[in-house]
Chains A and B, each alone.
Chain A
Amino acid sequence: MNLVIFIFIVLLGFTSYYFGRKKAYSIQATNTRLTALPQFYGYYLAIWCAIPAFIIYSLWAIFEPSIVKLIILSDYSNQGYLDDELNLIYEKTKSLSRGQFSGEITPYLETSAEKYLNLRSIAQNSKVVLILAIIIASIVYGYKRISSNNRTREPVEKFLNAVLFTASLAAILTTIGIVFSLIFQTIDFFKVIPLFDFIFGTHWYPAKAFVRDASEPLDPSMYSDTFGAVPIFAGTFFIALIAMCVAIPIGLMSGIYLAEYASTKVRQYAKPLIEILAGIPTVVYGFFAALTVGPFLKDIGTAMGLEVSAESALAAGGVMGIMIIPFISSLSDDVITSVPQGLRDGSYAMGATKSETIKKVIFPAALPGIVGSILLGVSRAVGETMIVVMASGLAANLTFNPLESTSTITAQIVVILIGDQAFGDPKTQAAFALGMTLFLVTLSLNIFALRVVKKYREKYE
């Protein structure tokens, strides 16, 4: 039904465009000069037709359920029910009215369900009537306003401008959404677990914090020594370090080679091929690390008499490093290419070889940009999820042995939130607190990296 109304409004918008334009043509036919192109009259009428109706439509969709709920539950208001019980009654009423209720049907529920259906149909009908009335009123108003001496281009363009502006707010809204989704759960979490324990505690066993019975009061002492994040912070840092040990030398050297030595032909083929590495989904890397690299390292280790876990930090970090190679190589390639030719020429003129020029002149000049690209790579490594989830362990060991398994922030978020979640439970909230940490860390890394790169660009532009 809602879809029908929606399509109806859209179709009406299109037809009113046609009628608006037609009226403009007929005015034009009487040799009167129009103040705008005929299309604008069409747009004008279409906006008048559709927008008020859409506003009512969406307001209705937002407020109808809560108002209906309020009316239904007003019957139960003086009987001393708790909020949760009232919600349950409402859910029961809804499922009964759909005929899907399988519990005990009390007379109260039955009357409520009847009332619910009644209200819904009243609401539905009055919505249709109201929207129709609005459409008719606004079309009539708009149609009357269309005349030769009335300006239509300016309002239409103002409207479009407002639409464009609203769209550009989407990015801000997303950021606000991220912060809001994280912050409340995080604050709730720190009400139970002291911030100090979280940052400096060395035991992370979220499995210990089993889902608690909601009726029992929360006992913070139950969670002492459960949510100490040091092992996973260390694990995150450690795996990122391994990844960067693979990615920085290979990425940087291939970036330098592509920028300074490679012939156009090599560059033309090698660069996109390396960038394929960045386009492969991370879950594929995860599978590769878990199926191939992990067992391979284990076999080598066993041959050398070392104890290697099949889910070692080395496997996850190494594969993650391969994934990050193209980020570093492309960015440093760009940075090196944009070093002014004059610096090179000056160095060659002094008799330096190409590699000496690169090492002593170009590299220092490009250093800020290269540092920026490495920082962006680090931020990738810290935020990478699937490789760690699939290839490294899920238990948070506090270790710096690359042959053992360890866990990261991202992996712990997945471990906690996979399956059913109970909001309001410290275990779930812990995942959000970790998410907040991750968000803040990567955000500051990015801001810092972008600032470094930007400063560097200004220097040579």
Chain B
Amino acid sequence: MNKNKEKLLDSRYRAEKRFQFYGKSAIFLALLFLTIFIFKIFSTGYTAFQKTWLIVPVTFDAETMYLDENPSKEDLKDADYFDLALQTMFDLDKSASEKQQNDLKRMVSYFFEREIKRELLNDPSLIGKTKDVYLTASDDLDQVFKGNYPRDLPEDQRRVTDYQLKIFDQLVEQGRVESKFNLSFFTYPDSREAELAGIASSFMGSIFSILVCLVIAFPVAVLAAIYLEEFAPKNRFTDFIEVNINNLAAVPSIVFGLLGLGILLAVFQLPRSTPLVGGITLSLMTLPTIIIACRASLKAVPPSIREAALAMGASKMQTTMHHTVPLSMPGTLSGTIIGLAQALGETAPLILIGMVAFVNTIPGSPLDPAASLPVQIYIWAESAERGFVEKVSACIMVLLGFLIIMNLFAQIIRHKFEKKWS
């Protein structure tokens, strides 16, 4: 009998251990996913912050540029650099056949003409002389140099030809290939060519959308929260508003995209693909988040504050506006920032209102067509070129960086400025 009891107890204890183990492994799994996830993004993305340059000697021959003697600055600006640039590349291998010459040309980005021009405009005295110029390598060679390119594939299965690899290896041996910080990733707009694609356009698009979203959602949400928390009579209508807010908070984001498409674009005829429409759509999504946060922090202000103000003869409106609302601001602001961070990461509604259009200019106002960072991730992730994989990861890193900063900011506001009532 006693033995039986012990056995039972043993198995019960084992069940206890097992249960704890399940719990621990669940948490472990969740954190493991997070780690794999972040590791994967960083390990594929960090190389995008480096860019490969070919250092090529350029002979600024006035004849090739069809320039007269002693050209003025204007002449230099209007000169034809294309032949010079082509000649520069062809000079890498003087014995190249026509097909090989084409390969040589495709070793650099199609900006090579501009890069050579910039060099000469910076220093017009270079005419007739030879100078080493940094040219952006094509995205495939960039990947080769970073070691991400499967060189051992048969030639017909890769875009880099054997000839290009041969010339490239020669250049590497001569120390004519260099990797430098990829500033153009932050300053260039989107491009079809991976080596020239940057996040400037989508970044500005995101900033404009978020600003529009903030300008619309913040005041409306705060005013609505004040009304619902401080002034609204308890009746059916107020209940209805509350049910509405709670439901809106859980409506899938793509439905808001349909709203933007069906109402903002089709009925109000606002311009397609613009951060203005994107921002308005996002603001409708963010509204419930901010309202809920603001109401919670209004609720946290103790009644004694209100009573003291009322006892001093302040009206209800004065009490609210001068005492309750300022005291609730830290909570409201941190809720707003978290809502904006959510909006910043939103993709689906922006796709529906046309912010996926290919934009290769940097938008200057919310009325210019633009993409946004998450949409840029989507666009690049859908393109087949190898060079875009690391760009996507790098773009994700920038986006995550922003989200982390915003969330930290929200935490700091909450902890630093929020009053603890005890």
Q: Which residues of chain A have a CB within 8 Å of any CB of chain B?
A: 153, 157, 160-161, 163-165, 167-172, 174-175, 177-178, 180-182, 185, 249-254, 256-258, 261-262, 270, 273-274, 276-277, 279-284, 286-288, 290-292, 322, 325-326, 329, 353-356, 358-359, 376, 379, 382-386, 389-390, 410, 413-414, 417-418, 421, 423, 431-432, 435, 438-439, 442-443, 446-447, 450
B348 within 8 A of A: yes
Which residues of A sit under 8 angstroms from B18, Cβ to Cβ? 355
Q: Residues 304-324 of chain B: 1 if any A CB is under 8 Å from the residue's CB, otherwise 0?
A: 000000000001110001000
The reply to whether B261 and A175 contact each other, CB–CB distance below 8 Å, is no
The reply to whether A385 and B247 contact each other, CB–CB distance below 8 Å, is no
Contact partner, A431, options B29, B258, B315, B346, Cβ 8 Å: B258
The reply to whether B247 and A447 contact each other, CB–CB distance below 8 Å, is yes
B127 within 8 A of A: no
Number of B residues with CB within 8 Å of any CB on chain A: 86
Known: A254-B27, A280-B400. A167 touches B224 (CB 8 A): yes
Which residues of A sit under 8 angstroms from B40, Cβ to Cβ? 288, 291-292
Which residues of A sit under 8 angstroms from B256, Cβ to Cβ? 178
Scan residues 220-266 of chain B and give those whose CB is less than 8 A from a CB of chain A: 220-221, 223-224, 226-228, 231-232, 240-241, 243-248, 250-259, 261-263, 266
Which residue in chain B gives the minimum CB-CB distance to A428? B261
Task: Give me 12 A-to-B residue pairs in the complex whose CB atoms sit less than 8 angstroms apart, sorted by A's number.
Answer: A163-B223, A168-B232, A172-B244, A177-B263, A257-B20, A258-B27, A274-B30, A281-B403, A379-B250, A386-B348, A413-B352, A432-B262
Give Cα A417 to B350, complex, Å. Answer: 11
B407 within 8 A of A: yes
Known: A257-B23, A288-B41. A164 touches B223 (CB 8 A): yes
Known: A164-B226, A282-B345, A438-B254. A353 touches B262 (CB 8 A): no
B46 within 8 A of A: no
Known: A432-B262, A435-B254. A165 touches B227 (CB 8 A): yes
Taking A281-B374, A442-B252, A447-B247 as given, write out 8 further A-B residue pairs in contact, using a Cβ cutoff of 8 Å, ordered by the A residue number. A171-B241, A181-B262, A277-B33, A282-B348, A287-B396, A410-B348, A418-B352, A442-B251
The reply to whether A181 and B251 contact each other, CB–CB distance below 8 Å, is no
Distance of A356 from chain B, by nearest CB (Å): 7
Contact partner, A355, options B16, B254, B342, Cβ 8 Å: B16
Give Cα A414 to B261, complex, Å. Answer: 12
Which 9 A/B pairs are nearest by Cβ-Cβ distance?
A383-B252, A257-B23, A281-B345, A181-B262, A167-B223, A253-B26, A355-B19, A164-B227, A385-B348
Which residues of B sit under 8 angstroms from A410, Cβ to Cβ? 252, 254, 348
Known: A170-B287, A273-B31, A277-B30. A355 touches B259 (CB 8 A): no
Which residues of B sit under 8 angstroms from A290, Cβ to Cβ? 381
Give Cα A19 to B389, complex, Å. Answer: 62
Known: A164-B231, A171-B287, A353-B16. A181 touches B348 (CB 8 A): no
Known: A165-B227, A174-B284, A250-B30. A284 touches B396 (CB 8 A): yes
The reply to whether A175 and B248 contact each other, CB–CB distance below 8 Å, is yes
Distance of A303 from chain B, by nearest CB (Å): 20
Give Cα A450 to B30, complex, Å. Answer: 26
Give Cα A262 to B27, complex, Å. Answer: 10
Give Cα A385 to B403, complex, Å. Answer: 20
Distance of A187 from chain B, by nearest CB (Å): 13
The reply to whether A168 and B399 contact each other, CB–CB distance below 8 Å, is no
Distance of A322 from chain B, by nearest CB (Å): 5
Which residues of A sit under 8 angstroms from B224, Cβ to Cβ? 164, 167-171
Known: A167-B223, A283-B347. A257 touches B26 (CB 8 A): yes
Distance of B394 from chain A, by nearest CB (Å): 12
Distance of B21 from chain A, by nearest CB (Å): 10
Distance of A446 from chain B, by nearest CB (Å): 4
Which residues of B sit under 8 angstroms from A435, Cβ to Cβ? 254-255, 258
The reply to whether B259 and A386 contact each other, CB–CB distance below 8 Å, is no
Give Cα A261 to B24, complex, Å. Answer: 9
B377 within 8 A of A: yes
Distance of B385 from chain A, by nearest CB (Å): 14
Scan residues 329-369 of chain B and give those whose CB is less than 8 A from a CB of chain A: 341-342, 344-348, 351-352, 356
B110 within 8 A of A: no
Which residues of A sit under 8 angstroms from B219, Cβ to Cβ? 167
Known: A290-B381, A432-B262. A279 touches B341 (CB 8 A): yes
Which residues of A sit under 8 angstroms from B356, Cβ to Cβ? 418
Contact partner, A423, options B16, B263, B266, B396, Cβ 8 Å: B266
Interface of B is mostly: helix
Contact partner, B250, options A326, A432, A442, Cβ 8 Å: A442
The reply to whether A157 and B378 contact each other, CB–CB distance below 8 Å, is no
The reply to whether A270 and B31 contact each other, CB–CB distance below 8 Å, is yes
Contact partner, B254, options A161, A414, A423, Cβ 8 Å: A414
Distance of A8 from chain B, by nearest CB (Å): 20
The reply to whether B392 and A287 contact each other, CB–CB distance below 8 Å, is yes
Q: Which of B44, B220, B227 has the most CB of A within 10 A?
A: B227
The reply to whether A329 and B30 contact each other, CB–CB distance below 8 Å, is yes
Scan residues 22-66 of chain B and give those whose CB is less than 8 A from a CB of chain A: 22-27, 29-31, 33-34, 37, 40-41, 44
Which residues of B sit under 8 angstroms from A254, Cβ to Cβ? 23, 26-27, 30
Distance of B128 from chain A, by nearest CB (Å): 46
Distance of B202 from chain A, by nearest CB (Å): 12
The reply to whether A274 and B255 contact each other, CB–CB distance below 8 Å, is no
Known: A253-B23, A254-B26, A358-B19. A450 touches B227 (CB 8 A): no
The reply to whether B262 and A274 contact each other, CB–CB distance below 8 Å, is no
Which residues of A sit under 8 angstroms from B288, Cβ to Cβ? 171
Which residues of A sit under 8 angstroms from B240, Cβ to Cβ? 172
The reply to whether A270 and B247 contact each other, CB–CB distance below 8 Å, is no
Which residue in chain A gives the minimum CB-CB distance to B246? A450
The reply to whether B261 and A421 contact each other, CB–CB distance below 8 Å, is yes
Contact partner, B261, options A181, A322, A386, Cβ 8 Å: A181
Distance of A110 from chain B, by nearest CB (Å): 26
Distance of A381 from chain B, by nearest CB (Å): 10
Which residues of B sit under 8 angstroms from A446, Cβ to Cβ? 246-247, 250
The reply to whether B26 and A171 contact each other, CB–CB distance below 8 Å, is no
Scan residues 262-277 of chain B and give those whose CB is less than 8 A from a CB of chain A: 262-263, 266
Known: A174-B287, A274-B27, A282-B347. A390 touches B378 (CB 8 A): yes
Which residue in chain A gives the minimum CB-CB distance to B23? A257
B215 within 8 A of A: no
Q: Residues 193-229 of chain B: 1 if any A CB is under 8 Å from the residue's CB, otherwise 0?
A: 0000000000000000000000000011101101110
Known: A279-B403, A290-B381, A322-B33. A256 touches B23 (CB 8 A): yes
Give Cα A180 to B255, complex, Å. Answer: 12
The reply to whether A414 and B348 contact each other, CB–CB distance below 8 Å, is yes
B163 within 8 A of A: no
Which residues of B sit under 8 angstroms from A287, Cβ to Cβ? 377, 381, 392-393, 396
Distance of A281 from chain B, by nearest CB (Å): 3
Distance of A214 from chain B, by nearest CB (Å): 16
Distance of B295 from chain A, by nearest CB (Å): 11
Which residues of B sit under 8 angstroms from A291, Cβ to Cβ? 40, 44, 381, 389, 392
B293 within 8 A of A: no
Which residue in chain A gives the minimum CB-CB distance to B396? A284
Give Cα A309 to B34, complex, Å. Answer: 25
Give Cα A42 to B396, complex, Å. Answer: 50
Which residues of A sit under 8 angstroms from B228, Cβ to Cβ? 168
B417 within 8 A of A: no
Known: A153-B315, A274-B31, A438-B255. A414 touches B231 (CB 8 A): no
